[in-house]
Amino acid sequence: MAYRNGYSYSHIFTDFSMPEITGIEFASKVRSLLKEEFKIDLARQPLIMGVTGHAEEEFKKAGIDAGMDEVYPKPIHSKMVKQILQIEKRIINLEPRKSILMPKLNKIAAIFSKSHDNPA
């Protein structure tokens, strides 16, 4: 893993459907490894964003329960990713991370979902 080699990441985007491991398993393993092996508390861990083609609320809940910070429906647009990264960069030092960041990310997701449903 990159942490063993001195690298760290501020964000991880993962699909729910990957060939060898699900996004849910991946998020859970990353959270566990960073906490237990590297002793990195949640506030200093990267944001994990799940991406799924499933719209059902149970998929989002499963991702959040596994350690994802947010779950977005496919397709995810590059403008949305840029806005997520810009917002997080500006408030990264504020605590608690989730209570400040997640409402803003949810607002962005809603805006892009509406624009995707009703293309101009």
Distance, in Å, from the CA atom of 22 to the CA atom of 3, rounded to the nearest integer, reads 21
Q: What is the homologous superfamily of the domain 2-117 according to CATH? A: Response regulator (3.40.50.2300)
Place of tokens 């990159």: 2
Cα dihedral value 112, 102, 19, 21, nearest 10: -170
- Give the pTM: 0.68
- pLDDT band at 51; cut points 50, 70, 90: very high
Q: Are 2 and 9 in contact (CB under 8 A)?
A: yes
Angle between helices 97-117 and 78-91 (to 10 degrees): 160
Distance CA 95, CA 118 (A): 36
Identify the pLDDT of residue 88: 64
Whole-number pLDDT of residue 108: 56
Please name which of 64, 31, 34 lies closest in space to residue 49, comparing C-alpha atoms.
Answer: 64
Lowest mean pLDDT among 44-48, 72-76, 100-104: 100-104
Read off the pLDDT of each residue in 104-113 and give the average, rounded to a whole number.
56
